Amino acid sequence: MKEIIRKLVEAWGPSGSEHQVRDLIRAEVEPYVDEIRVDGMGNLLCRVGSGGKTAIIAAHMDEIGVMTTFVEPKSGYLRFTNLGGLLHSTMVGGRIRFEDGTIGVIGVHEQFGASRTSVPELDDFFIDVSDGADGNNHIAPGSPAGFWRTMEERGTRIIAKSLDDRIGCAIAIEAIRRINKNTPNTLYFAFTVQEEVGLRGARTAAFGLNADVAIALDVTATGDLVRNSKMTVRLGDGAAIKFHDTGHVVPNAVRSWMVNRAEADGIPYQREILTLGSTDAAAIQVTGAGVPAGAISIPCRFLHTTSETVDMGDVEACVKLLVGLTSNPITL
Ligand code: CO
Ligand code: ZN
């Protein structure tokens, strides 16, 4: 599974430009699904099985990034706006990658002055894409870009950019393969676009499917950092079953369905109550006449940085829980 995770996290796909990730996922899942299509927003919808209850399983393909707004006339430095929740405190020296492969480096005004101890505003930053030739660059305003880092491993930990939410995509792909069309339910795996800019893809992905239940797969924060954040989730303690986040109160029936499955199958799990952030499930639950929704969350340290960290034991627990939930008859 690690090789597919590496391909996914090192792929290029800032919000609104998910096509490379979509092509990669399509190639991985096509032999294992009954139907595959792309909707008007760009979501990749894969059906597995028919009959029984209908479930949507959503994982977002996009990653946080930037879009260039303006080229400084003399210096050629690029100014930019955010695509999703950029953490200003992590950006100086960050590497940016454009679709054509150009690598830019983020600089900040007064790097060793005021910016050293206070968090700069977005318009204090700029991107250097000079190539030493004519001092100019060929990146036009309106160009999207993602952050760039390669994946690293340390024991059972995986350290990479975009684990939010390519690890969710990897879990969905692995589940599709293990299910191998053996399910009494109708499963729609939705690889969604534009989650990081406001859960936009998930809204159209759920349209017209009349789902009986939805599950989002996404990363969640952990409460095991130096100053404890009073969150119960810990890296390495298993799949996190969502109970609540800022956009989503998980219905009792859905969380019990997940907890009972984990207990029946002996899968390590923990309760997730997240006080900042949400997932595609929050958007799907309010589509149509309403869809009962829950989420399987992957504990992740250093969220929204280029060194997001997950544990492969948790990832395996999430795959097992998802396969258990979707390959047994859904009785909700
Ligand atoms: Co995110
Ligand atoms: Zn996410």
CA distance 129 to 136: 8
34-67 confidence digits (pLDDT tens):
999 999 999 999 999 999 999 999 999 999 999 9
Residues with CB under 5 A from ligand 2 (ion): 164-165, 218
Residue 165 CA to ligand 2 centre (angstroms): 5
What backbone torsions phi and psi does residue 16 show, to the nearest 5 degrees? 95, -10
Catalytic residue among 18, 63, 174, 195: 195
Assess whether pLDDT exceeds 90 at residue 329: yes
Mean pLDDT of 173-182: 98
Considering every ligand atom, which ligand is closest to the CA of 216? Answer: 2
pLDDT of residue 110: 87
CA torsion through residues 154, 160, 164, 168, sign: negative
Tell which residue, 35, 27, 22, 322, has the closest CA to residue 179.
322
Q: Write out pLDDT tens, residues 255-312.
A: 999 999 999 999 999 999 999 999 999 999 999 999 999 999 999 999 999 999 999 9
For residues 301 and 296, give the distance between their C-alpha atoms in angstroms, rounded to a whole number.
16
Distance 113 CA to ligand 2 centre (A): 34
Ligand 1 being an ion, which residues bring their Cβ within 5 A of it?
A: 164
Nearest Cα neighbor of 151 from 173, 139, 137, 167 is: 167
Q: Which ligand has the nearest atom to the CA of 64?
A: 1
Domains of the chain plus CATH, in order, are 2-63+161-327 (3.40.630.10), 65-147 (2.40.30.40)
Token pair, residue 164, equals: 């939010």
Cα of 330 vs centre of ligand 1, distance in Å, is 29
Can you tell me the mean pLDDT for 106-119?
88
Q: Is residue 318's pLDDT more than 80? A: yes
Measured from the alpha carbon of residue 165, the closest ligand is 2
Ligand nearest to the CA of residue 218, numbered in listed order: 2
Residue 88 · residue 122 · CB < 8 Å: yes
Q: How many C-alpha atoms does 117 have within 13 Å on its Cβ side? A: 2
Tokens of 95: 């590497």
Catalytic annotation present for 195: yes
CA angle 165, 170, 174 (to 5 degrees): 150
Q: CA of 212: how far to CAs of 52, 57, 148, 182, in Å?
A: 10, 11, 39, 19
Å from CA of 195 to ligand 2 middle: 7
Query: Is the bond leading into 165 cis (omega within 30 degrees of zero)?
Result: yes
Dist. CA 227 → ligand 1 center (Å)? 22
| C-alpha 297 to ligand 2 mean position (Å) | 10
Q: Is the dihedral of CA 294, 254, 267, 171 positive or negative?
A: negative
